[in-house]
A = this chain, B = another copy of it.
């Protein structure tokens, strides 16, 4: 459980490059984070740190996550849940899109060259310099549908007239 992952080594190098100290806390966050996978909330990470016997203040955790994001080893997501999630960027495709279940929160990832195409086309057309994008499709996953979950539909019931 304590071996050093490639990502962790890259993070060390990043810190060194930036002239920042490589502290016990930063090591522990990196170690725990990079040995997990998925889209972790700050709470998730805190729990894993505690479970690993590490006691780290949340301010430090937030500050370390900021560094991880800046190093580009980690991506920050906001799925509109009221808090952020963090994802290890290595050991997976460099670009991917998300299917998100509104019932159970499961995230399915997929790649799409079509989206890359659209992005290239549309940014060229608008003289826009793109840095990143996200495509997120929300709905019900197969399992939640099978259990009989339905999404409430409370909206106006007739076709919407155009203003």
Contact = CB atoms under 8 A, between A and B. Distances in A.
Interface of A is mostly: mixed
A17 B155 CA distance: 10
Contacts of A129: 139-140, 145, 151
A24 interface: no
Given A90-B163, A108-B126, A112-B118, A155 B72 contact: yes
Counting every copy of the chain, the complex holds 2
A73 B135 CA distance: 23
Interface residues of A, number: 59
Interface of A: 5-7, 10, 13-14, 17-18, 70-73, 78, 80, 89-91, 94, 97, 99, 101-102, 108, 110, 112, 114-115, 117-119, 122-123, 126-142, 145, 151, 154-157, 160-163
